[in-house]
């Protein structure tokens, strides 16, 4: 039986840090308001001339190093992003070139904040189907370029960054072996107008700015997240008690805590990194994963639950044994 196993992880944050106090000098907000409503203390901002593909390539190299592999070992590159370098070609193709690869396939996935979960599930399916052997799955964003920096209701929430994992096809019948155990993806386009960019190549010919009805997003988030997680638990026989780590999309500490509480996941199993980098959309899960791997929390054999919800709405969960 074929399984997809995470064999390496890595992440990258741009050098420039923008604190809540910095933001308070730009719009009518305060460190106290931002921390209390979101848990965010700072975010990183890409330098001029630093693109999503640059962030993605840094994270990919670190994941490859962690896996003790080279670009030659990879035959699939998936980049989940809402902020591509260009409308086309795919940012994944730029990453492929920056890694010095001329073989394999590379493409982008657009599912906004759920992009990493959608990308991981796509790679898992392709590996299991024998279409590739080793994949780089990357979440990378320069959200700072999509923000309206005069809108305090959105500009305080997001940041730039990238995270990556290497996923490898392995064979064997051991039910306790490492690998992806379950994945559940959902979307419902009736909610498009609650979180979107007010531009696009086919509509306005511009990139647009991020717009959001924060309260509406919040209202739907916890229910959607817990639904797909409960499905994944039912599918695998796992539960809040049997997982080792909960690595949610890092959008907002209140959504993270409310989801964990509703599911009955113990506080010490929850990985929280949102304070350090804000909502980095598709990059946030692999960023949090890489932090928890490098500080020694996530170890081989641990059961890890990932989830995300974002624009569309899209949402999903992946349950895996590290």
Site for ligand ACO in 157-186 (CB under 6 A): 157
Binding test (CB under 6 A) with ligand ACO, winner from 229, 309, 317, 319 = 309
Asked if residue 14 lies in contact with residue 277, where contact means CB atoms within 8 angstroms, the answer is no
Asked if residue 288 lies in contact with residue 172, where contact means CB atoms within 8 angstroms, the answer is no
Q: Is 58 a catalytic residue?
A: no
* Piece of the chain touching ligand ACO by CB under 6 A; list 70-78, 120-128, 249-257, 288-296: 249-257
Of the candidates 109, 111, 120, 123, the residue with the CA atom closest to the CA atom of residue 76: 123
Q: Is 66 a catalytic residue?
A: no
Site for ligand ACO in 85-124 (CB under 6 A): 113
Q: Give the contact letters, 43-82, x = binds to ligand ACO (CB under 6 A), - = no.
A: ----------------------------------------
The minimum distance between CB 98 and ligand ACO, in angstroms, equals 27
Closer to ligand ACO by CB, 37 or 145: give it: 37
* Piece of the chain touching ligand ACO by CB under 6 A; list 125-133, 135-143, 251-259, 265-273: 251-259
Binding test (CB under 6 A) with ligand ACO, winner from 25, 103, 190, 215 = 215
Q: Is 113 a catalytic residue?
A: yes
Question: Measuring CA to CA, how many Å separate 185 from each of 122, 309, 313?
Answer: 10, 10, 11
The minimum distance between CB 19 and ligand ACO, in angstroms, equals 14
The number of angstroms, rounded, from the C-alpha of 57 to the middle of its chain's C-alpha atoms is 15
Q: Which of helix, strand or coil describes residue 205?
A: coil
Binding test (CB under 6 A) with ligand ACO, winner from 11, 279, 280, 290 = 279
Query: If DSSP states are collapsed to H, E and C, what string results for 50-106?
Result: CCHHHHHHHHHHHHHHHHCCCHHHCCEEEEECCCCCCCCCCHHHHHHHHCCCCCCEE
Q: Which of helix, strand or coil describes residue 169?
A: strand
């Amino acid at each position: 039986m074929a399984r997809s196993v995470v064999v390496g992880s890595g992440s990258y944050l741009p050098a420039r840090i923008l604190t809540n106090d910095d933001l308070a000098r730009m719009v009518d907000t305060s460190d106290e308001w931002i921390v209390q409503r979101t848990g965010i203390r700072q975010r990183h901002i890409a330098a001029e001339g630093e693109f999503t593909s640059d962030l993605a390539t840094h994270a990919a190299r670190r994941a490859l190093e962690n896996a003790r592999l080279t670009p030659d070992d990879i035959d699939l590159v998936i980049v989940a992003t809402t902020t591509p370098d260009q409308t086309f070609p795919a940012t994944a193709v730029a990453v492929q070139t920056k890694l010095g690869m001329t073989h394999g396939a590379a493409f982008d996935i657009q599912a906004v904040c759920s992009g990493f979960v959608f990308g991981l599930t796509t790679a898992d399916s392709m590996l299991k189907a024998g279409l590739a052997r080793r994949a780089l799955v990357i979440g990378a964003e320069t959200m700072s370029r999509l923000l309206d920096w005069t809108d305090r209701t959105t500009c305080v929430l997001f940041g730039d960054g990238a995270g990556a994992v290497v996923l490898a096809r392995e064979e064997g019948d051991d039910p306790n072996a490492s690998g992806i155990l379950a994945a559940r993806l959902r979307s419902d386009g009736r909610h498009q107008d609650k979180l979107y960019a007010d531009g696009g190549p086919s509509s306005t010919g511009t990139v647009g700015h991020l717009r959001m009805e924060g309260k509406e997003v919040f209202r739907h988030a916890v229910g959607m997240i817990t639904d797909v997680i409960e499905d994944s638990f039912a599918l695998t026989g796992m539960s809040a008690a049997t997982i080792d780590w909960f690595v949610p999309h890092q959008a907002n500490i209140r959504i993270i805590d409310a989801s964990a509480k509703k599911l009955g996941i113990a506080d010490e199993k929850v990985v929280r990194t949102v304070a350090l980098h804000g909502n980095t959309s598709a990059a946030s899960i692999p960023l949090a994963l890489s932090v928890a791997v490098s500080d020694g929390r996530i170890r081989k054999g641990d059961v890890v639950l990932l989830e995300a919800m974002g624009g569309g709405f899209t949402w999903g969960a992946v349950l895996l044994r590290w």
